[in-house]
Amino acid sequence: MEVKRHPKLLRKEDTALLIIDVQEKILPVINEHERVIENALKLIRGFKVMNLPVYYTEQYPKGLGPTTTQLTEELHGEAVQKMTFSCYDAGDLFKELVQKDVKQVVVCGIESHVCVQQTVLDLMANGFQVDLAADAVSSRRQFDYETALNRMRNNGAEVTTTESILFELLDVCGTDEFKAVSKLVK
């Protein structure tokens, strides 16, 4: 009998991180925004340790300001700016994911029930597996957050946590990457 891994488990060679609209001006009204930032930072740092691609977007930065400096201090490159709620029309983001042969997209950011939800649904409509870091997304209201998580899950998103995502990508313990990521999640 051949032993198999579940096909929905994250694989380094297929995975990218997408951080959606964690911007200065909206953060103060987001429920548990400190949790979102803390876990988004863990994801960014973990993806950097594993040398995996990281993308981030900004919704109407003229009005909502730039991505919080807590994240940009860890990020490289420019934010993909957008006017649509979904990232489907955020520059060439979706095309670049396809060109880089990304099949699995880890998503975090705000707001769960608007930009995150629409992006997750559009990513899945375009053939991507989406793993949503439930502890790295939020909305202004808890009810909107919970409803959005349920809708995304019901439509096929893998709803999980930051730590689960990072250890799933690591696959094995005892490596230098494992040691570095383990320090991030403590």
- Domains of the chain plus CATH, in order, are 12-181 (3.40.50.850)
Helices (H), ranges, the chain: 33-49, 61-64, 69-72, 93-99, 117-125, 142-154, 162-170, 176-185
Q: Among 87, 115, 122, 135, which one carries the catalytic annotation?
A: 115
Any idea of the CA torsion for 42, 103, 68, 142, to the nearest 10 degrees? -80
Predicted pLDDT of residue 174: 86
Predicted pLDDT of residue 19: 98
Tens digits of residue pLDDT in 35-74: 999 999 999 999 999 999 999 999 998 888 999 999 999 9
In whole angstroms, how far apart are CA 1 and each of 4, 6, 8, 9?
9, 15, 20, 20
Predicted pLDDT of residue 85: 95
The answer to whether 21 is a known catalytic residue is: yes
The answer to whether 108 is a known catalytic residue is: no
Predicted pLDDT of residue 99: 95
Predicted pLDDT of residue 175: 87
Predicted pLDDT of residue 73: 94
Predicted pLDDT of residue 172: 86
Question: Could you tell me the two tokens for 20?
Answer: 């959606």
8 Å CB contact between 139 and 35: no
Q: Among 82, 122, 131, 135, which one carries the catalytic annotation?
A: 82
Predicted pLDDT of residue 149: 97
Predicted pLDDT of residue 23: 95
Measured CA to CA, the distance from residue 81 to residue 61 in angstroms comes to: 7
Ranges of the chain whose pLDDT falls below 70: none
8 Å CB contact between 56 and 91: no
The answer to whether 82 is a known catalytic residue is: yes
Q: Among 21, 122, 131, 135, which one carries the catalytic annotation?
A: 21
Predicted pLDDT of residue 91: 84
Question: Could you tell me the two tokens for 35?
Answer: 């949790």
